[in-house]
Amino acid sequence: MVLKNLLLYAALVALVLTASCKEEIDTNPPESPYLRPHTAETDTLPVEVGTDAKPECQCILVEWIPNTEEDLKEYEIFRSSNPTSGFISLTIRPAGESTYTDNSVLLTKYYYYIKARDQSGNTSEPSTKVDYELTAKAVPTSPAKSDTVFTDSVRFGWTWEGGLEGAFLVKLYSDSDDSTCWMGWTNAYDTLRAYSPSLPVGDYKWRVDYIGDVTFSEDKGSESKEVPFFKR
């Protein structure tokens, strides 16, 4: 009888020790992510940040500040054309990413938010929403691809079928290191052209962005493809 009681006691002790060694279940969700909105500075920064158009595609780039939780697993991105309803899940991106390119867009305003999820399956509250409206792209015409320019100043020209009020921002880059050399804007109702200041000899590339309102305050626009040319 004594032996039986000792064995029972040992079993109970082992059970308690096993239970105490089990890892506690994590029920704490990650912090709500922060989506970078399109701001007045987005279009004029040397390196653009925030939700924006992209030059290489008819698409919208969504960008967020990465969460810092060590057990973070993924982000889920949602989109709707209505600010308060109809949101659908677009994709799930791994924890190491902080941007998503939405290629399935029309020329209309979209609203986005994201959620973060950890390894235990806990999901954060939705981020604040950002919105962006993609517009028609301008088409650069001069200088054309691989043109050589011999004049002191460069005349930039383009066509556009957007039919909207607003302004264009012409961006000139060094083709060697992508640094910004010059930016200049013009009203959409002006002749579709702009002139650079005097440029040194070099290899360049340029593009033209439609930026909506001249105050850079509207969350809409487009970015043309970049066009390389030579200044001699």
**Cα atoms found within 13 Å of the Cα of residue 182, Cβ hemisphere only:** 18
Question: Per-residue confidence of the chain (232 residues) as pLDDT tens digits?
Answer: 554 554 445 554 444 444 444 557 888 999 999 999 988 677 777 778 899 999 999 999 999 999 999 999 999 999 999 999 999 999 999 999 999 999 989 888 999 999 999 999 999 999 999 999 999 899 999 999 999 999 999 999 998 887 767 788 899 999 988 888 999 888 766 667 888 889 999 999 999 999 876 665 678 899 999 999 999 9
pTM for this prediction: 0.83
Name the DSSP letter for residue 11.
Answer: H
CA–CA gap between residue 181 and residue 36 (Å, rounded): 26
Residue 86 structure tokens: 């109809």
What domains are defined for the chain?
A: 34-134 (2.60.40.10), 139-231 (2.60.40.1220)
